Amino acid sequence: MKTPYFSFAVGELPKGCQLCVRGEKLVLFTTGACPRNCFYCPLSPWRRGDVVYANERPVKSTEDVIEEAITQEAKGAGVTGGDPLARLDRTVEYIKLLKERFGRDFHVHLYTTGALATKKNLEKLYDAGLDEIRFHPDLFNPSSKLFRVEIENIKNAFDFDWDVGGEIPAIPGQFERMEWYAEFLDKLGAKFLNVNELEYSEMTLKTLLEMGYEPVSDESAAIKGSLETGLKLLEWGEKNTSLSYHLCTAKLKDAVQLRNRLKRMAKNVAKPYMEITEEGTLRFGVAEYDDLDELYSFLVEEAEVPPEWLYINREKGRIEMPEEVAVELAEAVEGDVKFFVVEEYPTWDRLEVERTPL
Ligand SMILES: C[S@@+](CC[C@H](N)C(=O)[O-])C[C@H]1O[C@@H](n2cnc3c(N)ncnc32)[C@H](O)[C@@H]1O
Ligand code: SF4
Q: Is 40's C-beta closer than 6 angstroms to any atom of ligand 1?
A: yes
pTM above 0.90, yes or no: yes
Q: Is 299's C-beta closer than 6 angstroms to any atom of ligand 1?
A: no
Atom of ligand 1 nearest to the CA of 40: 19
Q: How far apart are CA 304 and CA 21, in angstroms?
A: 46
Contacts of 119 (CB under 8 A, 6+ apart): 156, 159
Q: Is 237's C-beta closer than 6 angstroms to any atom of ligand 1?
A: no
CATH class of 8-265: alpha beta
Q: What is the pLDDT of residue 254?
A: 86
Q: What is the pLDDT of residue 327?
A: 96
Q: What is the pLDDT of residue 335?
A: 84
Q: What is the pLDDT of residue 5?
A: 87
SS3 210: helix
pLDDT in tens, 29-61: 999 999 999 999 999 999 999 999 999 999 999
Q: Is 37's C-beta closer than 6 angstroms to any atom of ligand 2?
A: yes
Q: Is 36's C-beta closer than 6 angstroms to any atom of ligand 2?
A: yes
Name the closest-CA residue to atom 3, ligand 2.
82
Residues of the chain with pLDDT under 70: none
Q: Is 323's C-beta closer than 6 angstroms to any atom of ligand 1?
A: no
**Cα 139 to middle of ligand 2, angstroms:** 12
Domain residue spans of the chain: 8-265, 271-357
Cα separations in angstroms, 144 against 10, 35, 210, 212: 30, 11, 20, 21
Q: Is 169's C-beta closer than 6 angstroms to any atom of ligand 1?
A: yes
ipTM: 0.98
Cβ distance 50 to 32 under 8 Å?
yes
The ligand whose atoms approach the alpha carbon of 48 most closely is 2
Q: Is 137's C-beta closer than 6 angstroms to any atom of ligand 2?
A: no
pLDDT in tens, 103-161: 999 999 999 999 999 999 999 999 999 999 999 999 999 999 999 999 999 999 999 99
Count other C-beta atoms under 10 Å from residue 209's C-beta. 12
Atom of ligand 1 nearest to the CA of 201: 19
**Cα 172 to middle of ligand 1, angstroms:** 15
Q: What is the pLDDT of residue 191?
A: 98
